[in-house]
Amino acid sequence: MNYLLPIMLLTLFLNAKAIDIATSKYPTLENSIDSNSSYSIIYRFGTLGLGVDFEYMFNSTLGARVNLNGFSYRVSGVALGDNKYSFKGNLKSSGLIIDYHPWQNAIRLSGGLYNHKSAITGVIKPTSGDIVLGDRVYPSMQIGSIDTKIDFNKVNPYMGIGFSSASKDGWHFVADIGALFIGTPKAKLTAKAAKGFEGLQGVLNNEAKIEEANINKDIQKYHWYPVLSVGMQFKY
């Protein structure tokens, strides 16, 4: 369902191409589509991962893009609450973006909406030393694992500025810088007792709730996600 909207928009994009070809055969309809209209496929990479855009320029001022992205990463040593986590992120997103070229050149102002189907998970697998959980300190041998999942808004408004060649045909460089409003991230933490210490599970559940609140306090200030990307555009 998360990709239903981009698929529908891509269908409209292809239909628009068919209409453009059809109108070129019938002079009586030539005024229905601007002579400066064009189509593009854009391949890019950036903070949303690897992506592809399908773009239609209605004229030299206004355009629209359907954008699909995907990316996976791992990072270690992230301090949250009183511990350090190893995080894995699987980012998938799709967006509908409107571009406005105020000076009818390569500079564009952009706005739109993104839909995310992303998961960010963190884990502590203690092997030595002590683990802080909630209000207590536990020997690592008593803790099997501590898992954290961070969620944020699935629909994110986007604002940005970019560079896209005003030339109609061939390959061109593109770049964008902007931000997604992701709301207030929310973490969910679970702790599992190590084998042989299952009697601690009830206490760990309560301490996990306290630690979860500590993590949410750390991440609640992050309302924006930076969007930076560069790529190549084939325009026709």
* One-letter amino acid for residue 224 of the chain: W
User: Could you give all domains of the chain from N- to C-terminal order, each with its CATH number?
Assistant: 4-235 (2.40.160)
* DSSP states of 83-143: EEEEEEEEEEEEEEEEEE-TTSSSEEEEEEEEEE--EEEEEE---SSEEEETTEEEEGGGE
pLDDT at position 199: 94
Max alpha carbon distance in the chain (Å)? Answer: 82
Residue 117's contacts (CB-CB under 8 Å, 6 or more residues apart) are: 2, 3, 92, 93, 154
Q: Quote the CA–CA distance of 202 and 117 in Å, as a whole number.
A: 32
User: How distant, in Å, are the alpha carbons of 34, 164, 231 from that of 171?
Assistant: 22, 11, 10
Average pLDDT of the segment spanning 147-176? 89
User: Does the pLDDT of residue 83 top 90, yes or no?
Assistant: no
pLDDT at position 236: 85
Average pLDDT of the segment spanning 124-131? 69
pLDDT at position 84: 75
pLDDT at position 34: 54
Q: Quote the CA–CA distance of 229 and 51 in Å, as a whole number.
A: 9
Q: Quote the CA–CA distance of 205 and 160 in Å, as a whole number.
A: 43
User: How distant, in Å, are the alpha carbons of 16, 32, 34, 236 from that of 27?
Assistant: 17, 10, 13, 21
CA 180-110-5 angle, 5° bins: 70
- Mean pLDDT for all residues in the chain: 83
The structure tokens listed for 222 are: 């992050």
pLDDT, tens digit, for every residue of 103-120? Answer: 989 999 999 999 988 778
User: Does the pLDDT of residue 26 top 90, yes or no?
Assistant: no
pLDDT at position 75: 82
The structure tokens listed for 235 are: 């325009």
